[in-house]
Structure 1
Amino acid sequence: MKKMLKYILLPLVLVFSACNPLELDEVLDPNNPSLASVAVNATREQVQFLITGLESTHRGYVTNVSQAWNTFGREIWYLNASDPRFQTDWLGQAGRVPDRAYFGFGTTGGGSWASPYQAIQQADILINSANGSQLLSDAEKKAVSGFAKMIQGYQFMIPANFVYENGIRIDVKDPLNPGPFVTYVEALNHIKTVLDQADQDFAAGGTGNFPMRLTPGFANFNTIAGLRQVNKAILARLNAYRKDWQGVLAALNESFMDLNGNLDRGPAHPFTGPPDGFNPLYYVPNAAINTIIVVHPSVLADATPGDTRVARKFLQRTTPVTVTTDATPLVGTHQDARWATNTTPIPFIRNEELILLKAEAHANLNQPTEAVAAINIIRNAAGIGSYTGATTTEALINEILYQRRYSLWAEPWGHRWIDARRYNKLSEISTTFDRGTIFQQFPHPQAEVNWDLYKKR
């Protein structure tokens, strides 16, 4: 990315001062204009800066969610010899269980909580700025609003799946007066409304190219039609969480899913190096380090012989990485091989996932023929041949979850952790190699509780 405009917002968290926490000193930053300067009659350049800044914040969850959630689902270990809490706490060793101050999820910067809400609030600023500009046409304002709401829908799903049954706040337009927590089901329904609104705004945004510049992550989707397809793909993932299987298929039919296309096709988070950042999941092959993401041993043990995904995604190290915590040696024999360089973009939803969502929807709708056809696209691409097992719903779901485990391995979403929870299979995730605990969900961060207590005083 070139130039990024970020605003320091209060993601539902107060920075407490010695006296009144609402009496904050004015901070003048010559590099970032004030909110007031873009709220009324913003220039096209200012709206452009807001869009680029939103794309930057949109990827803020990647590091934390990739490392932590994929640890919870035992897709990876994030080995860190300098700080054992990345192993002991995230693996739930020696009886450690999530609490409100759990390591690695601080509200001031945690990608599982604060970063998504910052993106949601920045999207609101973008919408208000575009709507208040006299230099954008009505169609352009709608297109910008559609993009912002699409990002909001995606980002709301992150805290919702992090705290799960504990619920999230969805009314966050005023960070100093947020709404109450709502249930997981209510949160998912709200997200559907946001994504539906995004589609409606895109539809009113005209045709042809998106009116503002997007980063290379949207290179193949920078038209109104292309962005509507991305929005529908996100909706398909959401509808699977809502168990709306007809809704999954309807969304997929309007997405960029291509049963005969490149499985890797999809929008991505770009990383271009200074002054932008680097791909946070990239590690130099066989580097002599003891802080690295490694493949969980169970993933290697459970793989189907000849699966090309194993050879393509996992690099066997010449020297394993070993970190001992809680008297348990964790030995990483393979590292992540998906990223060619430290500027390789990270996809956030891909055609491969969409095809597997199609299989899952058909299986749950008792349509085994269609489910098997979709499964076979994935199996044959992995070089393991067509499916020959039972075609009961239970058998097909087991097969689909297995294929998702390898097709979507360690993607920045924690798919296996969420999938196992969706189908009441958390107990099937192995802790043999680390003697840990599988978590179901996390409580609200302490700062959220403090905020509610403060409001009552």
Structure 2
Amino acid sequence: MKRININIAIAILLASVVLSCNPLDLDQIDDPNNPSVSSVTNNASKEQIQFLLTGLESRHRGYVTNISQAWNTFGRETWYLNASDPRFQTDWLGQAGRVPDRSYFGFGNTGGGSWAAPYQAIKQADVLVTSAENASVLTDAERRAVSGFAKMIQGFQFMIPANFVYQNGIRIDVKDPLNPGPFVGYEAAMDHVKSLLDQADQELSSAGTGNFPFRLTPGFSGFNTVEGIRQVNKAITARANAYRADWQGVLTALDGSFINLTGNLNAGPSHPYNGPPDAFNPLFYVPNAAINTIVVVHPSVLDDATPGDLRVARKFLQRTTAVTITTDATPLVGTHQDARWASNTTPIPFIKNEELILLKAEAHANLNQTAQAVEAINIIRSAAGIGVYSGSTAQAALIDEILYQRRYSLWAEPWGHRWIDARRYNKLNEIPTSYDQGTIFTQFPHPQAELSWDQYVGN
């Protein structure tokens, strides 16, 4: 574990990205003690490829903190209560008529974890692909394995800004940071995601069998073979296809994924956190700590829970003393905190078996395959201890049931599932604002940095 921590630290240094007005630009490092980007893209050694790969895994988790705090607030899965800065409440909740603009708090300069961090990971993956292509020490199979892994991460990461700005569109051509391509709409962005994931699968399918040729962090424990990475890639593809409303595509992708209808619902790859010199789990808060900055369970999640739901008991800890933050609109009272993380080094899953089973249910429901949809729903309900589904089997009713189960099975995961789900089904108006007198946002504009960059390049 100590060696992994050191490798992560070195990889982060090697893959350092300087956040300037252009988040797409990788700094050309001149430090003689650390390789420059050009040195690793021109006949890199296996050790340099390893550092870049480990660095990509680190970049891959860069979105976690911002999205967990913000997107889950937008969908009212949580409140991020922060007594030191009221904007985490007033702005993120859209109180007193506040609406997103290019300089919106937490996102306006670089877009934070919703914009800059994903593009940094995407650019890091570009460097890794180029380095692998030009590395004479790699076999063709090793080259394809590395390229497939990198493109899988790119597909995952492009979904983050795409779902952040939604119909405002994102740049998908960022090969040249000084001359990025135009913005494309949500549908085109998601098609690009699908294309990258398909390319990743093709690369991995040509990479032979057996173990992945380089070391992966413990986040990929159980998936550190070429076939294991392909299964993760197919799982991500299933999520992307749901966003594309390609329901048969969801089922096809799931067939090649790690879905297991009788297996551990929490099985799946994760983001590891090992402590110094690596990072701590950013979602862990000491139980019942005397604190006034914390993520708390949104009251509606508690109010709407099914009696006896085991997910409530497992995920939510009722605090001995509630956390109260007073805003101009109304006091916000957090009675429960997140109980999912045993410690500050617990890994955070980024896609898991439970989501895949719910995607299967959703795809079947949308294809009017009622029996299969109910079967998948009942796997989730039985695990939650709330019995089998006995409601209407009309398509709309099944979709409502699936969205309800996703709300508790995928609660507050670093993706903002409920916000995206409600938008996908035109149900944003069903997210309650009565608890905070706020507003539910549909999408965000491009960060000011994007506008400034276009003006700079145009001059």
SS of the residue 1:395 aligns to: helix
Counterpart CA distance in 1 for 2:305 and 2:406 is 12
Amino acid at match of 2:107: F
Aligned to 1:303: 305
1:60–1:111: 8 Å Cα contact kept in structure 2?
yes
Where does residue 451 of structure 2 map in the other structure?
449
**Corresponding position: 1:335 with 2:340:** no
| Distance in 2 separating the partners of 1:12 and 1:124 | 19
Decide whether the 8 Å contact of 1:74 with 1:429 is kept in 2.
Answer: yes
* Structure-2 separation of matches of 1:321 and 1:29: 47
Q: Residues 10 and 275 from structure 1, CA distance in 2 versus in 1: closer, same or farther, beyond 3 angstroms? A: closer
Match in the other structure for 1:18 = none
Residue 205 (str. 1) matches residue 207 (str. 2): yes
Select the residue among 102, 105, 108 that pairs with 2:107.
105
1:453–1:282 CA distance, 2 compared to 1 (3 A): same
- Per the TM alignment, residue 325 of structure 1 is displaced from its structure 2 partner at its CA by 1.0
Q: Is the 8 A contact 1:12 1:178 kept in 2?
A: no
Contact 1:11 1:117 survives alignment (8 Å): no
Against the structure 1 CA distance between its residues 121 and 300, is the aligned structure 2 distance closer, same or farther, given a 3 Å change threshold? Answer: same
Matches within 5 A, 1:42-441: 42-108=44-110, 110-441=112-443
Q: What is the rounded CA distance, in whole Å, between the counterparts of 1:138 and 1:301 in structure 2?
A: 56
Question: Residue type of the partner of 1:163?
Answer: V
CA-to-partner distance for each residue in 1:381-419, whole Å, 9 max, x for gaps? 000000000001100000000000000000000000000
The Cα shift of 1:447 comes to 1.1
Any idea what SS the aligned residue of 2:194 has?
helix
Provide the rounded CA distance (Å) in 2 between the counterparts of 1:85 and 1:96: 10
Aligned 8 A contact 2:103 2:109 in 1: no
Distance apart, 1:290 and its partner CA:
0.2
- Letter aligned with residue 287 of structure 1: A
Post-superposition offset of 1:31: 5.1
Q: Which residue of 1 aligns with 2:38?
A: 36
What amino acid sits opposite 2:148 in the alignment? Answer: G
Secondary structure in structure 2 of the residue aligned to 1:424: coil
Shift of 1:41: 1.1
Unaligned runs of 5+ in 1: 16-21
Q: CA deviation at 1:8?
A: 3.6
How far did residue 29 of structure 1 move? Answer: 3.0
SS in 1 for 2:89: helix
Aligned length: 450
Taking structure 1 as reference, are residues 50 and 62 closer, same or farther at Cα in structure 2, changes over 3 Å only?
Answer: same
In 2, Cα distance between equivalents of 1:320 and 1:178: 48
SS at match of 2:79: strand
Residue type of the alignment partner of 2:73: T
In the alignment, the residues of structure 2 paired with residue 272 and residue 383 of structure 1 have an alpha-carbon distance, to the nearest angstrom, of 33
Counterpart Cα distance in 2 of 1:385 and 1:25: 55
Contact 1:12–1:448 (8 Å) recurs in 2:
no
Judge which range, 107-116 or 70-79, deviates more: 107-116
SS at structure 2 position matched to 1:257: coil
Contact 2:329/2:436 (<8 A) preserved = no
For 2:352, give the aligned amino acid. Answer: R
Relative to structure 1, the CA distance from residue 102 to residue 417 in structure 2 (aligned partners, 3 Å threshold; closer, same or farther) is same
**Equivalent residue letter for 1:390:** S
Secondary structure class of the residue paired with 2:114: coil
What amino acid is the match of 2:147?
A: S
Q: Distance in 1 between matches of 2:324 and 2:110?
A: 31
Residues 214-264 of structure 1: CA deviation (Å, up to 9, x unaligned): 000001100000000000000000000000000000000100000000000
SS in 1 for 2:333: strand
Aligned mates of 1:273, 1:300 — CA distance in 2: 32
Alpha-carbon deviations, 1:290-337, whole Å to 9, x = none?
000000000000000000000000000000000011141000000000
Q: Secondary structure at the match of 2:112?
A: coil
Q: Would the alpha carbon gap of residues 206 and 142 (structure 1) be closer, same or farther in structure 2, given more than 3 Å must change?
A: same
Q: SS of the residue aligned with 2:436?
A: coil
Please give the root-mean-square deviation of Cα atoms over the aligned residues, in Å: 1.6
Q: Does 1:14 align with 2:22?
A: yes
Q: In structure 2, what is the Cα distance between the partners aligned to 1:374 and 1:133?
A: 46
Q: CA deviation at 1:37?
A: 1.3
User: TM-score, length-normalised on structure 2?
Assistant: 0.96
Cα deviation, residue 109, structure 1: 6.9
The alpha carbon displacement at 1:13 in A equals 3.5
C-alpha change, 1:78 and 1:31, in structure 2 (3 Å) is farther
Which amino acid in the other structure matches residue 270 of structure 1? P
**C-alpha distance in structure 1 between counterparts of 2:195 and 2:28, whole Å:** 36
User: Aligned AA for 2:281?
Assistant: N
Structure 2 unaligned spans of 5+: none
Q: How far is the alpha carbon of 1:27 from its aligned partner?
A: 5.6
The structural deviation recorded for 1:91 is: 0.2
Note closer, same or farther for the CA distance 1:107–1:30 as it changes in structure 2 (3 Å cut): farther
- Kindly, what percent of the aligned residue pairs are identical? 75
* Secondary structure, aligned partner of 1:111: helix
Does the 8 A contact of 1:12 with 1:175 survive in 2?
Answer: no
Q: For residue 456 of structure 1, report the CA deviation from its aligned partner.
A: 2.3
Sort the Cα spacing of 1:56 and 1:107 in 2 relative to 1 into closer, same or farther, 3 A: farther
Provide the secondary structure at the position in 2 that maps to 1:177. coil
In structure 2, relative to structure 1, the CA distance for the partners of 1:412 and 1:279 (3 Å cut) is same
1:11 Cα deviation after fit? 7.0
Distance apart, 1:9 and its partner CA:
3.7
